[in-house]
Chain A
Amino acid sequence: MEAINWHGFFFLFFAIVACAFAMAVVVADNIVRMACYLVVSLGAVAGLYFLAQAEFLGAVQLMVYVGGTMVLLVFGVMLTARGPLASMRTGGGQWIMAAIAGGALLAMLLQAAFSVSDWAAPKTIQEQAAVEGSPSARLGLGLMGVRVDQLEQPNLMLRRGMSGHLLAFEIISVHLVVVLVGAAYLARAKRRLDHKQAKDDQRP
């Protein structure tokens, strides 16, 4: 019996978890449970990232999604999950439509995944074991516009600028700030004001 391929094993594990809980999200009714399942699914995806030598990305996934996004979601849930709202069933017709569309999409994607020939050929297990992940410093430098991995870039212009993502990084950062401010502005509580208006309406 040949040496077991732990990479494959863990991949299988995480993949199954991710897919299973994703489906659970689809079928679940209770919004909070959906959130819970989603967390698990995303966590599993983070595991997949780790397997694919993207530790930093995995950590970010955990931090941002499972930490930030999920907590945000839970906030929303807490504020809106009450009795009837918590679970809202949809008609069977919708389900069928969705199933058809989804199935078509899935078929298409799978066909695409297996159709391209030179994707299908993986490295051997030994090679995979030999591959060492790119340290997160490279990623950071890439964001800063210094591309360590492209030193053999033939195009001199691209090499001088290192074809990094500094601009994109800046734009994203500013965008994030703006969005968060805007979100805070949108989400500020207007409840009390509504009550007052209601009172005013009752008065005359």
Chain B
Amino acid sequence: MNLLAQPVGLPHYLVVSAILFVCGVVCMATKRNMLGVLMGIELVLNGANLNFVAFGSPMLRAGPSDGLGLDGQLIALFVIVLAAAEAAVALAIALNFYHTHATVDVDRGEELKG
């Protein structure tokens, strides 16, 4: 579908968010560096956020009903804030981890392994 001609619709946004989301998951799944995992989480959150915004956006869907409406953006806002908080805590944990284990390799933090 030629986006230069056709209007942009909800599915396009969903596809992008899906790609971001999956990238995030794969990133989390493959990185051994704790910060890498963290970045993966950020990507996942962004994918989700993009969905919220897309569903809330008034212009992507035909008809009067604009889906989530303002709520989409509001929830996205909350997600961003929480993401920031989560990043702060995660970094703090990472630093502590580094102080105790002298590494950020998540595979090394397996004291609680069964």
Contacts and interface: CB of A to CB of B under 8 A. Distances in A.
A190 B76 CA distance: 36
B21 A98 contact: no
Given A57-B73, A176-B84, A85 B13 contact: no
A34 B91 contact: no
Contacts of B5: 2, 5, 8
22 contacts: A7-B8, A22-B20, A22-B23, A25-B27, A25-B40, A26-B27, A34-B36, A38-B39, A38-B42, A56-B73, A73-B38, A76-B35, A79-B98, A90-B30, A98-B30, A109-B21, A122-B62, A123-B62, A139-B74, A147-B70, A172-B82, A179-B88
A182 B89 contact: yes
**Interface of A, helix, strand, loop or mixed by DSSP:** helix
B36 to A, nearest CB: 6
A12 B99 CA distance: 44
Contacts of A65: 42, 46, 80, 83-84
B31, B62, B73 pick with most chain A CB within 10 angstroms: B73
Given A5-B3, A11-B8, A31-B35, A123 B24 contact: no
A172 B25 CA distance: 25
Interface residues of B, number: 79
Given A26-B27, A97-B29, A15 B92 contact: no
Contacts of A190: 96, 99
Interface in B52-74: 53-54, 56-63, 69-71, 73-74
**Interface of B, helix, strand, loop or mixed by DSSP:** helix
Nearest to B104: A80
Contacts of B92: 182-187
Interface string A1-39: 010110111011001001100110110000100110010
Nearest to A177: B85
Interface in A26-68: 26, 31, 34-35, 38, 41-42, 45, 48-49, 51-54, 56-57, 60-61, 64-65, 68
A41 B8 contact: no
Contacts of A80: 35, 94-95, 98, 104
A69 B96 contact: no
B35 A73 contact: yes
B43 to A, nearest CB: 6
Nearest to B12: A11
Nearest to A149: B70
B98 to A, nearest CB: 5
B85 to A, nearest CB: 4
A158 interface: no
A48 B11 contact: no
A106 B19 contact: yes
Contacts of A90: 30-32
A108 to B, nearest CB: 9
Contacts of B57: 52-54
